[in-house]
Chain A
Amino acid sequence: MNILIAIGGKEYSKPTLDLGMKIANAFEATTTIAYVGKRISQFSEKDVSVVHQNLDNRELYRPGVRTLEWAYDFLESKKYIKKDKSIAFNDHLLIDEENSRMRVLLKGNHSNKIDLILRTGEIIDQLRSEVETSNHDITIIGGGGNKGMHHKLVQFIDSSVMVVKNYSVNKQYKILLPVNNSTGSNKAIQIAEKFAKSKKLPVEIITVLENKSSDKKLRTILKKTEQRFTTAGIKNTATILEGNPVETVVKYAKDDSLVMLGVSPKNPFLKYFFGSKPISIAQQCNCPVLIAK
């Protein structure tokens, strides 16, 4: 499994990186930590590139590298990567892989598991390109950006997307798993099961009935999911709720919830212009939300 964690400024990225690494550890996944630098106008892109080369020559870190250095130190302090006194971040190489992508070459035995990437450009474009290049399964990003950005991420990035909002490193979380009959929901169940098992988290399975013909099917799915988690030895509860799915889930989710739900099977055009229930939930919930694809 491949996981992409997109980080921004040091101040805001700690929760994203922490939760991202917990998920990556649970899946024993190869992890890419990417910093996307500011978009440069075409007029100035070569000038900026020349300046950055000059900064490299003078051993002055180019923008973004300091953030990656911080991420590296954070991973080291949390023991996600082995501490090796002979290797300092300064000694790692910055490799220009293509026009807007640079990789910090990490020496030592952790290099196959973690990649530190520096990209510049429009964030959606860069993350989309990163996911396409390395076939990431989950993209994890901080919730500080605007709502439109999260919409675009879910719409255009070909991986599951987790928006990390209001996450506290020390808080005890439980997974909130709204289930339905979509393919995305099956994927969400798989991810939730693996994560809950690895981190020993309790799971609240819910389904929201809307007085439709599919209600019976939803009850069955809820029952099956409950059985699946119980068999796997995961502490869980199963609840049937009624009402508008978005409002109900948002109201049910608490600050200590990690919401995991499936992507909408709706037509992409409709999703683009009118949004979807999972996107609305991710935008309105004040806790981390994963939309599985």
Chain B
Amino acid sequence: MLSFLDLLNKFGPMNESYKIISSSMLYWFSQKKWFIFSVLLAVFLLSLSTPVGLTLAGYHSLIILLMVFTLVTFEPIPFPAIALLTLVLQVLLGVAPPDVVAESFMNDAVLFVMGSLMFAIAIVHQGLDIRLAKIIIKIFGRSKRLFLAGLMTISAILSSFLGEHTIIAIMLPIGLSVIKNIDTKQTDGRNAVLLTLFSVAYGTIIGSIGTPSGGARNVIMINYLQEFSNINIDYWEWMKHAYPILIMQLIVAYFVLQFAFPTTLKNIQIKGYKKKISKSTTKDNINHLFSSIIILLIVISWFLFNEELGLGIIALCGALIFMICGMVSWEVINKNTNWGVILLFAATISLGFQINETGASSWLVIKFNALLALMPESSFNISWSFMAILTGLTANFFTSSATISLLGPMAIELQPSDVSFALSAAIASGFSFLTVISSPTAMIIYSTGLVSTKTFFKVGVLMFTSSIVILYLMSKFYWVTL
């Protein structure tokens, strides 16, 4: 008697079209295996009875959360498809009625993501890197080591206001220009290249925690705090909490990088670069002046009018002014804006709201607190450490803004009246030092082909650990004084 395998083999070679179809199907399955896994997992969980103390809608919202985590981590389907699936499932599984889902889909945090991405493209389009390079060389050009420290500091300061995706696009060409002809086969040369690239990358990553506009996750957390705990944190308030951490991280990063990449820096070519960029046209000068004025206006507006106008509307204004002035075309913005990410953030924020509304986040916190009760140590320290490390680590494998949009409600629920928990979660999620998928900066540095995932992780472990320690010390001893 023929076995199933023999049967397959017998029929297989006979029909060419069958071969093509089965090959295509296999390819589809191999590419979409994580999608199939997440669907099967969801179906399995749906077939189980609802856990005690959790509403059916809450249970379903957690199942969708698990699906989103799997799909975003492994990317078997496009982000817009994940976003649409999240919305559709919320309605189909009875988590919320269509009107409620639609309402939670658009808020100031989503407008901020949209506005900041468009604003970033408009800024990068102005070619400000040459102007910035001149300024950095003028201030820090006395020595090569000082130049790199300056590159890191300026990256951090700018990124804290304009976001890391904007600043890495502007600063990377500067970094790559000074290391252009370095021979990376020699250890000294390789370390000089890595030191330069990491100085830009770490500056930009560290900077993004500094102000609400530094990263979408900060704005998402501010929105959640307002909605769930009725706590208002304005631009200045955030800076008071986060900027001292940023400064301490910069100092630590400087020494970590010097330790990780010892080099004489003799091959770094600042003078040659300075000569190359010395000429500029009047048109460029006028363009740069106008760009700087617009950027300054937007940053000042974030400081002064964030409560009245919302950070998102102000960011949109920035992109709008650039377009109205004809300094960037809609085609450029349309081509370079990641609409898929905007849709995904909107959908995950919507899901985050439903996780809170259905009581799922409270249920998770009750379970978590029950676990903590078994610990002999102070529950505050343990829950803080758990939450900060969890959000920090999750962000490294899942990206920071998506992490906060999904885990933010739980961080707030842990200590609804204590703002330090929510802020710590948002800030820790910005410690994207471990993996190259964690942030646009890390991915861009990795995409140069000059930095390996292994190197990124090895140095990142040091930075991540010290950053968590700094955050803990600041929240314990400095934030209480504010």
Contacts and interface: CB of A to CB of B under 8 A. Distances in A.
B476 interface: no
Contacts of A63: 447-449
Which of B23, B124, B443 has the most CB atoms of chain A within a 10 A radius of its CB? B443
Interface string B120-132: 1100100101000
A38 B437 CA distance: 12
Given A47-B168, A269-B26, A60 B399 contact: no
A272 B440 contact: no
Contacts of B447: 37-38, 40, 48, 51-52, 63, 120
Interface in B284-337: 336-337
A58 B174 CA distance: 9
Interface in B250-292: none
Given A41-B437, A156-B27, A265-B13, A270 B129 contact: no
Contacts of B75: 41-42
Interface in A14-61: 37-38, 40-55, 57-58, 60
Interface string B412-449: 00000000000000000000000001011001101111
Main secondary structure of the interface of A (DSSP, over half): helix
A55 B23 contact: no
Interface in B16-61: 19, 22-23, 26-27, 30-31
Contacts of B170: 54
Contacts of A46: 117, 336-338, 341
A60 B180 contact: yes
Contacts, number: 120
Contacts of B444: 44, 47-48, 51
Contact of A55 (B26, B127, B172, B439): B172
Contact of A54 (B11, B22, B79, B172): B172
A51 to B, nearest CB: 5
A266 to B, nearest CB: 6
B78 interface: yes
B443 A44 contact: yes
Contacts of A268: 12, 19, 22-23, 26
A50 B121 contact: yes
Contacts of A247: none
B169 A58 contact: no
B177 interface: yes
A45 B27 CA distance: 23
Contact of B443 (A47, A155, A267): A47
Max chain A Cβ within 10 angstroms of own Cβ: one of B117, B169, B440, B447: B447
A50 B449 CA distance: 16
Nearest to A67: B449
B173 A54 contact: yes
Interface residues of A, number: 37
Contacts of B120: 50
A152 interface: yes
B82 to A, nearest CB: 9
A40 B338 CA distance: 13
Contacts of B176: 55, 58, 60
B23 A45 contact: no
Contacts of A58: 129, 173, 176-177
A152 B33 CA distance: 15
Interface residues of B, number: 47
Interface string B149-184: 000000000000000010011101100110010000
A215 B177 CA distance: 66
B173 A43 contact: no
Interface string A209-228: 00000000000000000000
Given A48-B440, A48-B443, A60-B173, A269 B338 contact: no
Query: Which residue among A53, A125, A269, A270 has the maximum number of chain B CB atoms within 10 Å of its CB?
Result: A269
B296 to A, nearest CB: 22
B97 interface: no
Contacts of A43: 79, 338, 341, 399, 402, 437, 440, 443
B169 A54 contact: yes
Interface string A257-293: 0000000011111101000000000000000000000
Contact of B9 (A51, A152, A266): A266
A128 B24 CA distance: 11
B277 to A, nearest CB: 10
Contacts of A155: 23, 26
A270 B437 contact: no
Contacts of A55: 172-173, 176
Contacts of A64: 449
Nearest to A272: B26
A268 B23 CA distance: 6
A51 B172 contact: yes
Contacts of B480: none
Interface in A110-141: 120, 125, 128
Interface in A49-108: 49-55, 57-58, 60, 63-64, 66
Nearest to B31: A125
Contacts of B371: none
Contacts of B9: 266-267, 270
Contacts of A49: 336
A6 to B, nearest CB: 16
The 3 closest A-B pairs by CB, nearest first: A267-B12, A44-B443, A46-B338
6 contacts: A42-B75, A42-B79, A49-B336, A50-B169, A265-B12, A269-B22
Given A46-B336, A47-B168, A128-B27, 6 more contacts: A38-B447, A43-B341, A47-B443, A51-B172, A58-B176, A270-B9
